[in-house]
Amino acid sequence: MDDAGGHARWVRVSHWIGTASVLVLAVTGVLILMVHPRLYWGEAGNDLTPAFLELPISRNHQHGGWEAPRPFFARAGAPVSASRTFDIFNQNGWGRSLHFLAAWVLVVPGAIYLLTGLLGGHFRSRVWPAASELAPRAVWRHVVDHLRLRIPPATGGPRYNVLQKIAYSSVLFAAAPLMVLTGLAMSPAIGAALPWLPRLFGGYQSARTIHFFAFVALVLFVLVHVVMVAASGFRRQMRAMTVGE
Amino acid sequence: MKTTGLITRRRAIVAGLASIGGLVAARMPRDLPPSYGNLLRMGDTLTYATHRALLPAHSLVREYSLGDLTSFPATGTTNPAVSVKSALGEEYRKLQAGAFADWRLVVEGRVARPRAFSLAELKQLPARTQITRHTCEEGWTAIGQWTGVPLSHVLDAVGILPTARFVVLHSVDDWVDSLDLIDALHPQTILAYGMNGGDLPIAHGAPVRLRLERQIGYKSMKYVRRLVVSDEFDDGGMSGSIRNGWAWYNGI
């Protein structure tokens, strides 16, 4: 493969469509999370059941605005009902719709990107780390160099070093598919048509929790990615990913 | 040779995406809800069209066992007798005092035999009990057992006309919403009068609420009082989900 030309045009276009979509998905995702900042495991979880994790964001965090709970059955530990008295923060009317719109923006370019990358050999030859590159000693040397901010100067595209390959592969082949699948698993209509999908993740709330942690991983990736772009020569890298070189 | 291979692949990709697009376009519902030129609602409409085109019409949601029942928050309106300040709230207070003996569900519009059902009459129709997951747009879920009459039985009893396309629901707390006939005739779409083995509690929509299991929770309207079968999409005006800033289709 000839890597002299920097990033291919389809890579540059996909990169920025993805950037715009993921930015909107992240902002609206946090907005949606703020409405119910509690995470659970399994199928069901709500303010009247214990949480796996409570995030101190938005006024809805531990608001406590509930009438006295009434048990459904006359036995100890029976499930209860309680009426909410608290006026919660909720911008989901547009937040959810914008989240799904941003996801739609990614569908067709994302499919073209993945198919082109798979079929054209881009992933195999430039993105997926070769076995020879994964020698622990070599990887460790790269890690130490990066931590000391001894970043190699920008090349304006491939070839990528092994840490870049590991990072890009983790996003493309682990975090992003996990994000899409856990997102679809939360849809009641898709869950009815494809019941194996929510089951795969252990239920609706498990899928929602995994969706959140995949988001955290992607945010960490973006932060490191932007720092590395700046450290290796911001102008050169931006030129390479926009007009190309 | 390499170049030829790339072009063939590109053609294959384009052809593949075009055929999926063509499938969606061909199987799209004839009547899409208006998006009011609103980009947000166009996304929701695309979701609706895609779900209707690609997902089976009558797939059932998962049903659970009694041991899976969970605590269940009551949100939104939890007692119309207190919170609804119109004549409907006052009427609800009187109906509630009479254990809903005088309550009626009006079913009208594009039907052969418009009718008002009492609670007892609804209970005489074949019942369905299902234990399902309520999925709130806020992010929480709860599992409850619902007993009621499938909406399809009620619609059969009044005889919907062949041109009918939507069922519009009106509630005591002045909310108007609608379903297409695929959702309205779905076997798990029921008008529930029982919850967890007892009468439907006031806080959960007594005497009758909708259970629409393949959409997000707020589409399962509480305190249903009137159904209007319609040929055309009715956005419900100022009482409808769209004018109040919410998606009409929410299977996602």
CATH topology of domain A9-62+87-241: Fumarate Reductase Cytochrome B subunit (1.20.950)
A29 touches chain B (CB under 8 A): no
A-chain residues near B133 (CB < 8 A)? 43-44, 188, 204
A-chain residues near B39 (CB < 8 A)? 101
Residue A5: the pLDDT is 64
The answer to whether the Cβ–Cβ distance between B13 and A79 falls below 8 Å is no
The pLDDT tens digits of the residues spanning B140-153 come to 999 999 999 999 99
The answer to whether the Cβ–Cβ distance between B72 and A81 falls below 8 Å is yes
Nearest to A193 among B59, B204, B246 (CB): B59
Torsion of CA B42, B46, B48, B51, to 10 degrees: -170
Residue A114: the pLDDT is 93
- SS3 of chain B: CHHHHHHHHHHHHHHHHHHHHHHHHHHCCCCCCCCCCCHHHHHHHHHHHHHHHHCCCCCCCCCCCHHHCCCEEECCCCCHHHHCCCHHHHHHHHHHHCCCCCCEEEEEECECCCEEEEHHHHHHCCCEEEEEEEECCCCCEEEEEEEEEEHHHHHHHHCECCCCCEEEEEECCCCEEEEEHHHHCCCCCEEEEEECCEECCHHHCCCCEEECCCCCHHHCCCCEEEEEEECCCCCCHHHECCCCCCCCCCCC
Residue B6: the pLDDT is 57
The answer to whether the Cβ–Cβ distance between A83 and B62 falls below 8 Å is no
Judge whether residue B11 has pLDDT over 70.
yes
Domain ranges of chain B: 60-239
A96 touches chain B (CB under 8 A): yes
Domain ranges of chain A: 9-62+87-241
The pLDDT tens digits of the residues spanning A175-185 come to 999 999 999 99
CATH of segment(s) B60-239: 3.90.420.10
Query: Can you tell me the mean pLDDT for B180-196?
Result: 97
A79 touches chain B (CB under 8 A): yes
The pLDDT tens digits of the residues spanning A10-60 come to 999 999 999 999 999 999 999 999 999 999 999 999 999 999 999 999 999
Residue predicted with more confidence, B20 or A83: A83
The answer to whether the Cβ–Cβ distance between A36 and B138 falls below 8 Å is yes
The pLDDT tens digits of the residues spanning A203-218 come to 999 999 999 999 999 9
Percent of chain A with pLDDT over 70: 98
A16 touches chain B (CB under 8 A): no
A82 touches chain B (CB under 8 A): yes
The answer to whether the Cβ–Cβ distance between A192 and B214 falls below 8 Å is yes
* Average pLDDT value for chain B: 92
Instruction: Chain A: give the shortest CA distance to residue B251, in Å.
Output: 5
Tell me the pTM: 0.93
